[in-house]
Amino acid sequence: MIKYLSGYFTSSFLKKRIKSIEFFMRYPIEIQNQLMNQLVLYAKNTEFGKKYGFCDIKKYQQFSERIPICKYTDLQYFIKRIRSGEKNILWPGKVKWFARSSGTTNTRSKYIPITKLSMNTCHYKAGKDVLSIYIHNHPKTKIFFGKAVRLGGSYELHKKYNTFYGDLSSILIQNMPFWVENICVPRKKIALISEWEKKLENLVKETGHQDVRILLGVCSWLLIFLNKLLKEFDKKIINEIWPNIEVIFHGGVSLRPYILQYQKLFNKSINYYDVYSASEGFFAIQDQKNVKDLLLLLNHGIFYEFIPTEEINNSDPKILSIDKVELNKNYALVISTNAGLWRYIVGDTVRFTSLSPYRILISGRTTHYINSFGEELIVENTEKALNKACMKTNSTIHEYTVGPVYMNTKNSGAHEWIIEFEKKPKNLCDFINILDNELKYLNSDYEVKRYKNIVLGPPIIYVARNGLFYDWLKKHNKLGGQNKVPRLSNDRRYIDSILEMEKSRN
């Protein structure tokens, strides 16, 4: 009885969030301008605020003229001081939590400040809105009458300065509101185990006999967990273990390469809802059923600006406020947040699909692309092309990465793909041809460079053994959490690293 009352009241509370969402959809420009003024007012007496004259910033033009565009390296000096215990540097007071970025597999880590305000008014607020939208779209849902499985990271205590750092998910789990903690499994003690494979074993044991209705996590790691669950319980489909499973809230990587594998795991239709969350903030959520556009969250402590992707490498790039963006153009995302990131280039690129309300698709990364030959290939292109190739050849992909093969005096350039298939195509040549033709269709620059193989030859595909990418991530201590395989690189560092590991194994 208590469980059902709890589900009823939680559901009723979240329905009220819809009004707030509808408000910022109706008045986006006004809310963003108000938020900009609030941020500079909060931070006017910080060291950063005094340096750039926050005290009399009233208009966006002043904001954009005074504060420089920042990358992590530009803020690293300030963040190092904040981690050492200094106060009032980028944001008022002392910051206790830092999300260690795990967006790539290189050895350098970024430490993104997480304030109590950003937890509550950005991450947790967005989490409420995700659930509110789901309830609004599915009024007969019973997700709160069961449990939600969360796949989080781990955290460590930086003992010298008494600050915490770790994967963003682990920080949010550690500080989770009681009403969320009540419906989540596994227990916090298991969710925060630092060693992925040990956590996975405990996760299977603790969740297999629960009434699970929600899954939360990065879809690639969720897939590994679900397959292990099936093996442990000797079942063929997830519904035999969790008959009431209803929805998967996923983010971090695209679901597209994995959707066929997910469909095989369930013998009934379940809902998939995408979210766009990063260490720097919770940016967007899917607000419509069966539509992949994401609603940009405009009153969650983040002020947005946008750089056209063709300007990103310019010394003085053109920077646009949200009222100046256009449909179907790629922009690098720039944010100012209530955790003290100021005009910070996140590294993601987005494309607007709607301006009323503002909806986006994630199109790639500013560093994860291939433009070695002027082809300007982005992740959105490769995901769509792979999906078409898989559909036409009845194959499925587990993981992949792509890098350039540089041209020389004898040969044109090419793209080398390392693909780990879940189900291999019967004819690899057919797969390559479909992939190549679809990329030509999606990307006119790629099509031009492929003309008669003069600049760019056909794709080269190395079929990886089962488990290669998992082993590579493990070698780099990047298992679990928000870690992911980099899809595209404009150089050969990932490709060569993976192939070298495979070569040494043989």
Interval 447-498: pLDDT, tens: 888 888 878 999 999 999 999 999 999 888 888 766 788 888 888 889 999 9
Residue with more model confidence, 265 or 410: 265
Give yes or no: residues 144 and 254 share one domain: yes
Structural domain includes residue 129: yes
Q: Nearest to residue 105, comparing CAs of 331, 401, 465, 419?
A: 401
Which of 280-289, 374-383, 386-395, 422-431 bottoms out in mean pLDDT, i.e. has the lowest? 374-383
Q: Does 198 fall in a domain?
A: yes
H or E stretch at 148: strand 147-150
Instruction: Quick: pLDDT tens for 162-181.
Output: 788 888 888 998 888 887 88
- Please state, in angstroms and rounded to a whole number, the distance separating the CA atoms of residues 458 and 461: 10
**Dist. CA 183–CA 249, nearest whole Å:** 15
* Boundary of a domain, candidates 246, 278, 310: 278
Instruction: Give the per-residue pLDDT at 410.
Output: 73
| Listed residue (192, 197, 245) closest to 225, CA to CA | 197
Structural contact between residues 315 and 329, judged by C-beta atoms closer than 8 angstroms: no
Measured on CA atoms in the order 253, 485, 127, 239, is the torsion positive or negative? Answer: positive
Q: Identify whether residues 263 and 400 lie together within a single domain.
A: no
Tell me the two tokens of residue 431: 């797969």
Statement to judge: residues 269 and 400 lie in one domain: no
Name the 3-class secondary structure at 405. Answer: strand
Query: Are 130 and 268 part of one and the same domain?
Result: yes
pLDDT of residue 107: 33
263 and 396 together in one domain? no
Number of domain units in the chain: 2
State how far Cα 131 lies from the chain centre: 18
**pLDDT tens, residue by residue, 204-261:** 999 999 999 999 988 878 888 998 999 999 999 999 999 999 999 998 777 877 788 8
Report the CATH number at residue 424. 3.30.300
Residue 199 lies in a domain: yes
Predicted confidence at residue 1, as pLDDT, reads 44
The answer to whether residues 274 and 383 belong to one domain is: no
Q: Taking all residues of the chain, what is their mean pLDDT, rounded to a whole number?
A: 89
Decide: 194 and 213 in contact? Cβ < 8 Å.
no
Beta-carbon neighbour count of residue 451 at 10 Å?
10
Q: Is residue 356 part of a domain?
A: no
pTM above 0.85, yes or no: no
Tokens of 79: 């963040």
Q: Is residue 299 part of a domain?
A: no
Distance from C-alpha of 21 to C-alpha of 76, rounded to nearest angstrom: 34
Q: Which of 233, 249, 278 is the last residue of a domain?
A: 278
> Does 268 share its domain with 389?
no
Please give the radius of gyration of the chain, using alpha carbons only, rounded to the nearest integer.
Answer: 23
Q: Is residue 305 part of a domain?
A: no
Domain extent, residue 267, equals 118-278
How far is Cα 243 from Cα 122, in angstroms, rounded to an integer? Answer: 33
Counting other chains too, the contacts that 206-212 makes at CB distance below 8 Å and 24 or more residues apart are 207/147, 207/149, 208/232, 208/233, 208/241, 210/146, 210/147, 210/149, 210/185, 210/242, 211/145, 211/146, 211/147, 211/242, 211/244, 212/146, 212/147, 212/148, 212/149, 212/185, 212/242, 212/244, 212/245
Write down the H helix ranges in 194-325.
196-207, 219-233, 259-265
Q: How far, in Å, CA of 375 to CA of 370, rounded?
A: 7
User: Which of 278, 294, 329 is at the close of a domain?
Assistant: 278
Beginning with the edge strand found earlier in the chain, give each strand of the sheet holding 271-278 in spatial order.
Answer: 184-185, 147-150, 212-218, 247-251, 271-278, 281-286, 294-296, 358-365, 344-355, 330-337, 302-308, 320-321
Note the pLDDT of residue 205.
93
CA distance 502 to 485: 16
Considering the domain architecture, whether residues 262 and 386 belong to the same structural domain is answered as: no
Q: Is residue 73 part of a domain?
A: no
Encode burial over 461-498: b for 16+ CB neighbours within 10 A, e otherwise: beebeeebbbebbeeeebbbbbbbbbbbbeeeebbebb
At 257, which CATH number?
3.40.50
SS3 279: coil
Query: Cβ distance 102 to 377 under 8 Å?
Result: no
Shared-domain flag, residues 123 and 271: yes
Quote the CA–CA distance of 119 and 108 in Å, as a whole number. Answer: 25
Q: Determine the pLDDT at residue 2.
A: 40
Question: pLDDT tens-digit profile of 402-447?
Answer: 998 987 667 888 999 999 999 999 999 999 999 999 999 988 788 8
- Pair 222, 150: CB distance under 8 Å: no
Instruction: Work out the pLDDT band at 113, boundaries 50, 70, 90.
Output: very high
Q: Judge whether 300 lies within some domain.
A: no
